[in-house]
Structure 1
Amino acid sequence: MSQSQPSYHPAPSASSVTLPRLSCDTHCHVFGPQSRFPYPEGVAFRPADAPKERLFALHDMFGIERCVIVQSGCHGYDNSAMLEAMAARPGRYLGIALVPIDVADATLADLAAHGVRGVRFNFMPHLEVGASAQDIVAFSHRLADYGMHLQIHLAPQLIAETGAILAAAATPVVIDHMGRIDAAAGPDQEPFCALMDLMENEKFLVKVSGSERASARGVPYDDAVPFARRLVETYPDRVFWGTDWPHPNLAGGPPDDGVLVDLIARIAPDPAHLRALMVDNPQRFYRFED
């Protein structure tokens, strides 16, 4: 893709939702700036810069005080841009890295010391698959030594098969974006049923992010809300929320993040569920130290 591809909404709207203190965005990215953090050759997508300053401004606007930055595939295994953003807000911003499964122990130790809490693997058609599910399970034993977990981004048709293998992991397993389900297929669709079955195993956790990706109707993404709400109500202590800013590889361009924040009130209308989703679950699982 061209480096001129839009990276984020230029003027997100104000949200009507007042978030609890210490609310956390558990899934977002930083891209570049490429003048300091150039993309490696051969990456699948090359978005325009989405630097930490824009991310910080977005969070400040919505009252989001904590964050987990997820390393993006466009930067490959060079986690430098993510680490720099984390260091700019120490203790409040943590990370999820991309590493090869043959990464040195010294590198894992260094990442953990700098606030990296997990490693992400992709099973999506548009992204490079870093390892097989079986190899990832074996690798999870090394992650456990450093207090890290697995984060998995997988296509919906792979939830049942891949999830069954990952159940043997030595660490918790976080599923991205509600398993990338398609809201148009309805609540009885096989991928969502597989996700609900997977969540019966307490090893698994899920991010109720990506409503803008799941929706078939577009703004305000009403058709995606019931899926997220059901996950929150059924597994209230194992759910997280995230913006997915700046929304890479999203058809139609970046969404208005104010609209996505507004959805939180409908995803978690119960005050106890809201606090668990936005504050308590991230605090417990990611171990914020601020």
Structure 2
Amino acid sequence: MDCTTVSLPFEMPADACNVHLHIIDPAFPNDGKAASQIGTVETYQALVNKLRLPRAVFVQAKPFALDNACLLDAIQKFGPDNARGIAVVNNTISDQGLEQLHNGGVRGLRFSVWNPDNAVVSFDDCAPLSERVKHLDWNMQLHMGAAQLVKWADIIRRLDCKVVIDHMGRLDPALGVKDPAYPFIQEMIDKGNTWVKLSGPYLNTKTGEPWEDATRTAVAIAEFAPERVVWGSDFPHVTEKIKPDEVVLTEMIATWLPTKKARQLALADNPKELYGFV
């Protein structure tokens, strides 16, 4: 891959962080699907050099279920000073196992229950695990649909830890911030412990590329809470048969976050606070 830096329509802040991507290396034990979803550290590193995104938060990928070995390996290969991980575990994990993940760079747990048919964890474990990792200052990362956010609102409200809402809350693209779940997202943001990931435009659209409906949602959320949004590319885009252009996705930052201050917050300052970068 060409590692030459590209000319972006904005100045990327120093220490800019992509807070949502997956490393999928079929060399690690998996469910058989990793070979068709490959996204290695080496491939992503070339994009980092091209797009000037020196920090990354790797999110455990579904082919590896509860085995976080690939995730931990990615953090080490990328460089632990500039990488963090979001693991996937259930409540049977030992305290020692949680400490080992923390020492390996993990700073949160993901509950991807948007599609119950392929979920590898149960949301029932979220609250108990949040109590067990509270002393580690981890976040609970929630990938669920808008209706699920409303359904489990009372449980989410009671989480006494950092909370991250994946992919803009998967609001109904036809409704955007008029979705009934959006006031709850605003409520959580106002509590002061919740961040929203501006990511996955192709997961939040009915119109398709260039994802104008998803952009309206992203802009509205960023304007509502500039101190509580972060940005991610969702590399290697496992949900998409036709992969989006990485440069195009990165260029969209200029539209989603149109001021230098907004980009400094979402790409550098907010990830530092949320994930504990030094």
Shift of 1:173: 0.9
Secondary structure of the residue aligned to 1:247 is: coil
Shift of 1:40: 3.4
Report the counterpart of residue 4 of structure 1 in structure 2: none
1:2-13 superposed matches below 5 A? none
The separation in 2 between residues aligned to 1:55 and 1:127, in whole angstroms, is 26
The one-letter code of the counterpart of 1:29 is H
Secondary structure of the residue aligned to 1:94 is: strand
- The equivalent position to 1:20 in structure 2, one of 6, 13, 17, is 13
- The equivalent position to 1:116 in structure 2, one of 106, 120, 128, is 106
Shift of 1:145: 2.3
Alignment pair present for 1:81 and 2:70: yes
- The equivalent position to 1:65 in structure 2, one of 51, 54, 60, is 54
When normalised by structure 1's length, the TM-score is 0.87
Secondary structure of the residue aligned to 2:226 is: coil
The one-letter code of the counterpart of 1:142 is R
The separation in 2 between residues aligned to 1:283 and 1:244, in whole angstroms, is 19
The separation in 2 between residues aligned to 1:224 and 1:74, in whole angstroms, is 27
Is the contact between residue 160 and residue 194 of structure 1 (CA under 8 Å) also seen in structure 2? yes
Question: Relative to 1, partners in 2 of residues 1:14 and 1:99: Cα closer, same or farther, differing over 3 Å?
Answer: farther
1:87-102 superposed matches below 5 A? 87-88=76-77, 89-102=79-92
Report the counterpart of residue 51 of structure 1 in structure 2: 40
Question: Relative to 1, partners in 2 of residues 1:90 and 1:187: Cα closer, same or farther, differing over 3 Å?
Answer: closer
Is the contact between residue 239 and residue 277 of structure 1 (CA under 8 Å) also seen in structure 2? yes
The separation in 1 between residues aligned to 2:162 and 2:223, in whole angstroms, is 20
Shift of 1:285: 1.5
Shift of 1:197: 3.5
Question: Relative to 1, partners in 2 of residues 1:173 and 1:92: Cα closer, same or farther, differing over 3 Å?
Answer: same
Alignment pair present for 1:276 and 2:255: no
The alignment covers a number of residue pairs equal to 272
Is the contact between residue 59 and residue 87 of structure 2 (CA under 8 Å) also seen in structure 1? yes
The one-letter code of the counterpart of 1:28 is L
The separation in 1 between residues aligned to 2:137 and 2:177, in whole angstroms, is 35
Shift of 1:46: 6.3
Is the contact between residue 24 and residue 279 of structure 1 (CA under 8 Å) also seen in structure 2? yes
Alignment pair present for 1:263 and 2:249: no
Report the counterpart of residue 143 of structure 1 in structure 2: 133
The separation in 2 between residues aligned to 1:148 and 1:102, in whole angstroms, is 18
- 1:216-254 alpha-carbon deviations (Å, 9 max, x no partner): 22222122112111111111111110001011223x422
- Bigger shift: 13-22 or 252-261? 13-22
Is the contact between residue 101 and residue 139 of structure 1 (CA under 8 Å) also seen in structure 2? yes
- Name stretches of at least 5 consecutive residues in structure 2 with no aligned partner: 1-5
Alignment pair present for 1:130 and 2:116: no
The one-letter code of the counterpart of 1:39 is N
The separation in 1 between residues aligned to 2:66 and 2:123, in whole angstroms, is 17
Is the contact between residue 180 and residue 210 of structure 1 (CA under 8 Å) also seen in structure 2? no
- 1:155-192 alpha-carbon deviations (Å, 9 max, x no partner): 12111122321111121110100011232234322233
- Name stretches of at least 5 consecutive residues in structure 1 with no aligned partner: 1-12
- 1:63-82 alpha-carbon deviations (Å, 9 max, x no partner): 00100000011111111111
Is the contact between residue 88 and residue 121 of structure 2 (CA under 8 Å) also seen in structure 1? no
